[in-house]
Each structure stands twice: as C-alpha cells, then as structure tokens.
Structure 1
Amino acid sequence: MTRRDAGPARDAARSTGRAPAGPRRRAVLGAGLALGGLAVAPASAARPGSPALVRRGRPGLSLGVASGDVTRTTAVLWGRADAPGRLVAEVREPGRGGGWRRVPGPVVGTGTDLTGTVRLDGLRSGETYEYRLLVETADGPGEAASGRLTTAPRARRDVSFVWTGDTAGQGWGRHVDLGMPGFAAMHATEPDFVVHSGDTVYADGPIAPEVLLPDGTTWRNVVEDGVERRAQSLDEFRGRHRYNRGDAHVRALTAGAPLYAQWDDHEVTNNWYPGELLPADVYDRERRADVLARWGRQAFVEYHPFDGRRRDAEGKVYGSFSRGPHLDLFQLDMRTYRGANSPNVQPAAGPATRFLGQEQADWLVRETRRSRATWKVVLADMPLGVVVPDGSGFEAAANGDDGPPLGRELELADLLRRLRRARVTGLVWLTADVHWTAAHHYDPARAAFTDFDPFWEFVSGPIHAGAFPVGELDGTFGPRRVFAAGPSSANESPLGRNQYFGHVAVEGRTGTMTVTLRSTRGDVVHTEVLEPPVRR
C-alpha cells in the first residue's frame, strides 16, 4: 500500500520509556556505534549495505539462512545456494554433548533460483536447536551457514515475538553505510520468532543510487542489477528478494529466530487486485496483474521458509501455528481473494465485496473456535478500520462512511458476527501496511455495527521504508485510537524517527500479554497490558 492522502495529526503517546535490555539468550550483532540515532554494527562486522560476499572456492549460502513454519515437532529451513547442488541440513540435538543429525534436502538449480527448503521432523517441543545448512556439489560439500530456532512449547512458558512490515519501500533501499538497521533493533530484543506482516519487498518501487533528503544531504543506496526498474519478469521479482537478503541485519535476524512471513500488495505492485489491467505507461512489458502476481507469488514463496505441505495448488499462503498453550497464530491473506478496488459502497455482499473470500473466512472461524490457546493472534496484512484510499476507490475494507457496513465491510461484519457466536475469546489483531504505528480498540458500544465482541488491533511499521502521517479511522466497527504516531509529512526517510516495530510478550505463568510499540531507535513509544480473557 502507498498512502495517497494524509490523515489527522497523531495522538499523544500515553506512555513512553526505554526498551528494557533484558538478558541475552542468543548471539546478536556486537556493540554498535551511534550514527544519526540509529544502531549501526561495528566496523569489524560485515558492512550492512554492501553486496553479500560470495566465498571463493567452495560454494556457500551467501544470502544466509532462515527457519519458518516452526511447530512443536517440525521446522522448515531455507537457503539459497551459490551454485547448483543438493541442500543438506545438519541439526544439533539440544543439551550438553548433543550430536549432529544430517537431513538431506532437495537438489536446487535455476528452476527455483537456487533456493530450497529442508523440512525437519522429530524435534522436541520447547527446545532450542542449532542448525547448519550447506550445498553439496559434485566437488563435495560447500561452506555451511548457521542458524538457531526454538520449537513451540507444550508447557506454559514465556514467549516473545516481534512484528513489522514494509521493507525497502518508496526508494529507500539498503543504505551504503547503515544497511537496514531496523532489523538489528528487532534482533536486539531476542525474540522467539519474527512476523513480517507484508510488503516484504517493493517490487514496484525503483531504487536509485541516490535520493536527495530535505536537508540537502544525500541518501545513498546500494544498487544491484534490476532494482532500478519495476519488476516485470520472474527474475526481476526474485531479484528484489535477493536484494533485501543482501543486508547483514536481515540475515542475522532470520538466522537467530524463525520467520513467519505474509504478503500484501508490493510483492507484486501497489494496491493490485485480481483481474486488474495496469497502466501501459507504467507497465510497458506486462500489464496483467494476474501474470505479475503469479511471478510475484512464486518469488515470495521461493525466498521464504514455507512448508510445502500447507500450500494448495494455487499457492495458498494463509495458515495457523501454535506457539504454546497461551498463543496461537492465524496468518491471513487479504490480497489473493479480493474483488476489485472500488468506491466500496455495495449494499449487498457478492463477488465485488470479497476481501478474505468465503473459504478463508470459514477457515478462520473454524480454526479459532478449535483453538484452546489463551490468545488467538490474527496476523493481518491490512488494518480493519483504517481508511486507505486508492484513487476514487478504497484499498482496504473501510470506506470512510461511519454508518452500517457496506462493500467489503459486509464480509468483515459477517466474520466478526460469526466469531462472536462461536464464542471465540482472546482475539488480538496485528498488522502493518500503513507506515505508521497505532493501538486501536474496537467496541460495539461505539459502533454502527454492534454484533461482535470488543478486540484490540495493533499497527506497526515501517521497518525500512517511507513513513507517512497517521490516517483516518472509519467508525463502522467502533475503533478508538488509543495511541498513534507518524511523521507530519509524507515519505519521511528511514533516517527519521518514525520507523517502528511491535513487540509482544506473553507470560507463561499468568498468560498476561504485554504489547509494546517501539521505534527502531530503541524507544518504547506505547505499552498495553492485556489480561487473559474469561472463557465463555
């Protein structure tokens, strides 16, 4: 999503403070320098903005490793080899003196841009595993890249994670000196896992060598082949993912904690919808959004640690994951199944008002009803009540009319009604997309539509993109802006003070959830403490 208008001024923060340092459980980037208020890796570390180094001699995995789709007993490892060959994982059993287990993976080649995944089975719940991933060629094994992951616990344990969105957008690429330091800020919190809520790349956003800043200085990007133009081929979409993974901070974060990634619009192009025909003066080689989306989805899946067993023939990217007795995750796809963007005021539901689509909405109701977790965290790629214009129409569900549900709001109203009637408790929505951070509380007592239970929605990001002024809320579902923060002008650079991520900590003993909204400079800008809900 790219904002096309500015909303009201941001609200004042209810609480501010410094992010607690906390004990270190896993290695993070070494002590850094302060440069413009941003945390920067020391000179001895790999230069964040520089192209990823390919070792001479034996092939390695120069874009690092990642783990994902981690459950109590399984995990998926991801890597991109520097040469064709077979991916092989080596996993160390936890505990003192634990041995290494070898797990052969697939042969990778140009058909997947040398990317591949290795599924690990037979893991123990609540344990931390070290792993190595390497590629074996006819000349023997290559250089290994290492990582660490923690499986979901069965027992009630403390769990923490971070979430954000919007990476390398609006022309702000990997800075030649700083790289993308927001990822180092998330890494420093030592999360059990990471959620990227969409816009993992900006395939439609050209990255130029230099950007002139308002103060007359110059932002200098690392530029690699293809990123100076909009992606209109499979290799160009892949190139955007290679570009982001070339950042040392990104690689360190995904090596240190599992990643749950979802897509939104910029993995393809701004505000796209199925069936759209894009302007010929912008897309001169391929105008069909469906074709671009097929390439964009393929590249997105190839460059993230997805378990192939949870995808269908159409490449489904929504799913659910348990992270212990207190926490289940429900990851949505608000892009694939929607109708066309429009004025969004249709009085009756139909194909034009689809947002999640019936099958995905049914799945969410069914799976949240089955969940026994204290908290059911819905990972959405767009906010529910924020007004997001798209020309003369609307990009999200809200239409700017505070009255009864119309357009896509009809599907959302039906979903919230069904969740209430299914007696689903402990729903918390997390999202990004709008390039500012906020805490919203939805309550039927303030709403035009009243057949739902109150819930919280937390918005964060961007992690490394242009920041935008806080937008307007639609009153149909009764949102109250408890807190919001963003810049006063559009497209503030990552050097500003409005790059954000969120942090969630769930206490194992009590189930209390603490949500903090944080800047990438290390400041906690807002905190909400949520007590466990009463089961009905």
Structure 2
Amino acid sequence: MDFVDRRTALRAGLAVGAGLAGGALLGGPGAAAGAGRPGAPAWRPSGRPVLTHGVQSGVVGPGQSVIWTRADRPGRLVVEIGRRPDLRDARLVPGPVLDAGGDFTGKLRLRGLPAGERLHYRVRVTSLDRPGLASEPLTGSLVTGPPTRPGRRHRADVRFVWTGDIAGQGWGISDEFGGMRIFEAMSRCAPDFFLCSGDTVYADNPLAETVTLPDGRVWRNLVTPEKSKVAETLTEFRGQFAYNLLDRHLRAFAAQVPQLNQWDDHEVTNNWYPGEILTDARYTETRVDVLAARAAQAFHEWLPTPGDGPLYRVVSHGPLLDVFLLDMRTYKDPNDGNTYADPRRGLLGAQQRAWLIRELKRSTATWKVIANDLPLGLIVPDGAAAQEGIAQGDDGAPAGRELEFAEILGAAHRAGVTGIVFLTADVHYTAAHHYDPARAAVGDFSPFWEFVSGPAHAGGFGPNTLDGTFGPQAVFVHAPPRANTSPAEGFQHFGEVHIDGASGALTVHLRDRDGASLWSTTLPAADR
C-alpha cells in the first residue's frame, strides 16, 4: 500500500502515549479477558497476551487517526491497516510497548492516511519475553475525513452522531434490559464519527447490585469493585472507563466508529471546579485538583484521544465542517451566583476564549460546530444559591459567565462568521433551541441554533428553564415525566447531523434510544 510509507510507519510507532504512572486495573496486574467481571483469571507470564477491552479509534485531523487497545500484560502494540476488509493489502505499523505504567493501555497515532475512505485495521500485542508470540487479533474500521480542499462538485456528505452521559445515576450495564443498546442504534446511522459531549463516565455514581423500578421490575447491574464506590485513586478512575467497555454494544460501536471525546464534571465529581475542596462525606481525598489529575490521566489512557496539548481543539473534517471542542471544566471559575461584572472570569479562561474567537474567524468551513459540554441558555443550578452553567436566570444584559459568550458571539458576528451551530448534552433530555437577537437582551450576534441530546445511558431529567439573555426559544423538547427515569423507561437520546455534500445543507435529527427520529430540521448553507 502507498498511503502508509516506511517513514510514516516509523514516525507513527514513536508518536504514541502508553499512559503515565499508576497501578494495575481490576483484579491485579493485567487482569485477563473479561477483566472487571468477578473471578477473572490472572494472566500467566509465559502465555499468549490477551486484548481485554476491545479496540477503539479516535479522530485527530486530516490524514490522521489514533488506534487504541489494552492488553493483560506487557507487550508491544502492532497495527495493520488497509483498504480491504480482509486486510490482504494491509501495511504493518509498529507501536509502543504497553506496560503497567499506562495500565497496559496503548495508542498508536497514524499519519498520512488517505482522505474520505473507510479503512480497516487489525490489532495485536506481541509478547516481550517470547518473540513471535502474539495475542489473538481484534479488528475494527474507521472513516477518514474528506479532502480539505476538493472541488465544489466533489464535496462528500458528512454524517456524525453525538450524545453524552454514560452509566450515570446508578444505571449500569444490565443485560436483562438490553445493555447500552443506544450504541447499536447509533451504529445503524453509519456515522463518520461520534462526538461524546462529556460525562464519558460517572466516577461519582456508585452502582448498587439491584434497583427496583416504579413498575416493580428489578434492574440488576453488573458491578465491579471500582464501580462500588466513588472514584478517588487512579485505579478507581481507570475502572470507570474499563467498566463501560464491558458493554457489548459500546465495544462493538467503538470498533467501527472513530471518536471525539470531551470531558465534563462526572469524570471527576459532580459540578466540580478547580480549587474546590469537597464536603461530601463519601470522599477521603477532598482536594478536587488531586482527583482531577488522576481522572485526566485515566481519561487519556482509556480513550483514543490525541494525548497531547489542551483538551480544547478544532478538528477539520473537510470543507464542510470544523468541530470546535471546548473544555468548560479545566479553567472554570468557582460556582457562585454568577452575576459578577468581571469579564476576565468565566468557564473557558482568557486563553481558550481568545483561541475560539481566532479559530472561528480563520475557519473557511461551511459549518462551525461548537461542542459545548455545558448548554448556553439552560439554567443548571448547583445547590440553592450557586450556578453550574453559563446562565443564571436573569433575562437582562449579560453578567457572570454570560460575558464570555457575549464576547465570542459578538466577535464572530462583527467578523461575518456564518454557520455556527452549538451541540451539547449534560441535562439528560433532548431539545432544539433557536437563539435570535430580536428576542435577546443583547443584539450583537447572529441568530444560531443549539441542539441538546442525551443521556446515552443514565437517568433521564428535565426540562430545565431557559435564560432569556441571548433570546432562546425552545422549538422542541423531549423530557421524562419525572426525575431519574431509568433507561428501561426510554428517554435516552442521541443526535444525528448530516451535511449534504452537494448543497451544504445541514440536517439535524434528534433520536431516541432505538434510533427513531423525534424531531428534525434542515438548515441551508450560508455560503451557497
């Protein structure tokens, strides 16, 4: 094959992170296949390596991808990738050594991939003490982004799905209720990639073995030691991600659909912010900064992230789409009444705010999707007097964290930026919000949409109240009749975005757990 040459292969083999310092996962060093389940056997040093949690791929940018796996013992990651499903044309690319310091996880960053194609890959881990002995292979596939500057007539369609909030509020994997079957429904959409809008795990929501549902049925959770208490140690944070991959639907989805992952609060603990000291009696480690550092390490070890630089970044997906991934947690100011007048404070921080304005102005993509893990206009309280999100319930001029977004939206408007769409999750229901300066307390921005989806597999809540500062209107809402409805009762959601290559029009479907479209709209391209 010609798309992974020798230089690329060698470079890719060095451009990986196999993790940082820490202990072993579930059940001692290198738990074997089925790790996390009671009674999993220990690995034998002389035996064949076993890949314990499937394979995943991550979106990096044009011509690049990340391949991830985990083994049950030290070994070297090896990837074969090609155009043919049978991999008879595959090129072998050596990867890093997986060891205990990275919890036996490893990632291989591939460059020089062809644009706009489905590629197939095969993953093995080879033994370090017995050359030639390798694990049974696992296979997957991924779709690379389209060419960045094709002719207008050759623009390819773009399709992706998004949701968030996985295994929250005590609802874990229950095979009797179909597991996390929303991932099977998302797979049927044949997306180019998956955007997880935060709460990739629930490190602060322990699982009970059984939960009685309102109709008398019993929900039985698969429970592991790491999911039996709030996560505090590095091993416990790693166990949150390992747990989700025990679900067959999620594991199959991850092997076929590349990911873009954000983090929000539950990767660490509910509604956290830097510098916070917890008063929750469940925690012996009360310094949130310590917990967040451990959570971030597990996040990068167990998800196919690029592993370098800040969490916020822009990912270009051909001429039709740029995705702006925000980090609304790492630089967040303390949760208070959110009515201050200081424009230097906020969720994003000065550097990320300047980056977003700069990159929105630079973008030539038809659509600029801003992935905000906290909704823009919904009021999300943190207790009686504090606010977790951007809005605070005052419909007047921007104040508090709203000042950040007034600056961003105003700068984009004055620069003539078009095609801005916000995608979010967090509030555990699905909705479509249209924002218009004609309804707003501030007029210096262009009309735009924000689409909300989720949860993927967690308690259903909502709806929340909209703050009128930016003139939102709830055009569609689908929320449960009571708080913390189980996945067995429905009200699990994902969104699908399709951008037509010929017209540039963007269509959004808000779908339920089974993939049925609850509501949709099509937005025309401004540059046509």
1:198 aligns with 2:198: yes
Distance in 1 separating the partners of 2:136 and 2:326: 36
* Structure 1 segment 159-308 matched on structure 2, within 5 A: 159-177=158-176, 178-283=178-283, 285-308=284-307
Distance 1:129 1:321 in 2: 19
| Deviating more after overlay: 459-468 vs 147-156 | 147-156
Q: 1:51 to 1:367 in 2, by over 3 A?
A: farther
Q: 2-side partners of 1:398 and 1:270: how far apart?
A: 18
Kindly provide the amino acid, as one letter, of the partner of residue 290 in structure 1.
D
Q: What is the rounded CA distance, in whole Å, between the counterparts of 1:299 and 1:417 in structure 2?
A: 37
In structure 1, the residue corresponding to 2:337 is in which secondary structure? Answer: coil
Aligned counterparts of 2:162 and 2:78: Cα–Cα separation in 1: 30
Structure 1 residue 119: Cα displacement:
1.1
CA distance in 2 between partners of 1:229 and 1:407 (Å): 35
Which of 309, 316, 322 lines up with 2:316 in the alignment?
Answer: 322
Give the Cα–Cα distance (whole angstroms) in 2 for the partners of residues 96 and 238 of structure 1.
Answer: 33
Aligned match for 1:91, one of 81, 84, 93 = 81
Alignment of 1:148-163 (within 5 A): 148-154=141-147, 155=150, 156-163=155-162
Amino acid at match of 1:76: V
What is the one-letter code of the residue matched to 2:259?
L
Q: Which residue is 1:532 aligned to?
A: 525
Residue in 1 that maps onto 2:444? 451
Alignment check: 8 A CA contact 1:71 1:323 kept: yes
Q: State whether residues 365 and 422 of structure 1, in contact with CA within 8 Å, keep that contact through their aligned partners in structure 2.
A: no
Q: Output one character per residue of 1:112-148: Cα deviation in whole Å (capped at 9) or x when no partner.
A: 1111100112211111110011111123211111110
In the TM superposition, residue 247 of structure 1 has moved relative to its aligned partner by: 0.8
Partner of 1:296, secondary structure, is: helix
CA contact (8 A) 2:180 2:249 kept: yes
- The Cα shift of 1:51 comes to 7.9
Percent identity (aligned) = 52
Q: Give the partner amino acid of 2:357.
A: V
Q: 2:317 is aligned with what amino acid?
A: R
Letter in 2 for 1:278: L
2:60–2:306 Cα contact (<8 Å) kept: no
Deviation at 1:93, TM superposition (A): 3.8
| Residue type of the alignment partner of 2:269 | T
Displacement of 1:464 in angstroms is 0.1
Q: Secondary structure at the match of 2:225?
A: coil
Shift of 1:349: 2.1
Amino acid at match of 2:184: A
In the TM superposition, residue 95 of structure 1 has moved relative to its aligned partner by 9.1
SS at match of 2:521: strand
1:464 — aligned with what?
457
Q: Mind listing any 5+ residue stretches in structure 1 that lack a counterpart?
A: 1-45
TM value normalised by structure 1: 0.87
Look up the match of 2:498.
505
Q: Match of 1:507, as an amino acid?
A: D
Q: Secondary structure at the match of 2:207?
A: coil
Deviation of the 1:347 alpha carbon = 2.2
Q: Shift of the alpha carbon at 1:73?
A: 1.2
Residue 451 of structure 1: CA displacement? 0.7
Distance 1:64 1:83 in 2: 15
Query: What TM-score, normalized by structure 2, do the two folds share?
Result: 0.88
- CA deviation profile, 1:258-302 (whole Å, cap 9, x unmatched): 01111000000000000000015131x200000000001111111
What is the distance in 1 between the residues matched to 2:175 and 2:254?
Answer: 21
Distance 2:493 2:114 in 1: 34
Matched with 2:118 is: 128
The one-letter amino acid of 1:356's match is: L
Q: 1-side partners of 2:198 and 2:167: how far apart?
A: 12
1:368 to 357, 360, 364: 360
1:82, distance to aligned residue in structure 2 (A): 1.7
Tell me how far 1:52 sits from its aligned partner.
12
RMSD over aligned CA atoms reads 2.0
Q: 2:333 aligns with which of 335, 339, 350?
A: 339
1:331-410 alignment to 2 at 5 Å?
A: 331-350=325-344, 353-391=345-383, 392-410=385-403
Residues 1:79 and 2:69 are matched in the alignment: yes
The 2-side partners of 1:383 and 1:52 are apart by 42
The answer on 1:142 being equivalent to 2:135 is yes
CA contact (8 A) 2:77 2:125 kept: yes
Q: Indicate the SS of the match to 1:328.
A: strand
Among 100, 108, 115, the residue aligned to 1:118:
108
Matched, 1:65 2:64: no
The one-letter code matched in structure 1 to 2:350 is Q
Q: Distance in 2 between matches of 1:53 and 1:63?
A: 13
SS of residue matched to 1:266 = coil
What is the alpha-carbon distance in structure 2 between the residues aligned to residue 253 and residue 50 of structure 1?
21
Structure 2: tracts of 5 or more residues without a match: 1-32
- Give distance in 1, aligned partners of 2:452 and 2:459: 16
Q: Following the alignment from structure 1 to structure 2, what is the Cα–Cα distance between the partners of residues 202 and 289?
A: 15
Contact (CA 8 Å) 2:87, 2:120: kept in 1 or not? no
Report if the CA contact (8 A) 1:502-1:517 is conserved.
yes
Distance 2:39 2:117 in 1: 31
CA contact (8 A) 2:174 2:219 kept: yes
- Structure 1 residues 456 and 119 mapped into 2: Cα distance closer, same or farther (>3 Å)? same
Counterparts in 2 of 1:119 and 1:51: CA distance versus 1, 3 Å: farther
- Cα distance in 1 for residues equivalent to 2:440 and 2:75: 58
Over 3 Å counting, the alpha-carbon distance change for 1:475 and 1:501 in structure 2 is same
> Larger RCO: Structure 1 or Structure 2 (Cα < 8 Å, ≥ 6 residues apart)?
1
**What secondary structure is seen at the aligned counterpart in 1 of 2:488?**
coil
- Per the alignment, residue 11 of structure 1 pairs with none
SS, match of residue 298 in structure 2: helix
What is the number of equivalent residue pairs in this alignment?
481
Cα separation, 1, equivalents of 2:457 and 2:257: 19
Task: Report deviation, 1:94.
Answer: 5.0
Whole-Å separation in 2 of the counterparts to 1:74 and 1:262: 19
Q: How far off is 1:50 after superposition?
A: 7.3
The one-letter amino acid of 1:301's match is H
Instruction: Give the Cα separation in 2 of the matches to 1:326 and 1:278.
Output: 44
Question: Matched residues in 2 for 1:324 and 1:134: separation?
Answer: 31
Residue identity matched to 2:329 = R
**1:105 equivalent among 95, 105, 111:** 95
Aligned with 2:434: secondary structure? strand
Cα distance in 2 between the residues matched to 1:199 and 1:95? 33
CA separation of 1:141 and 1:418: change in aligned 2, threshold 3 A: same
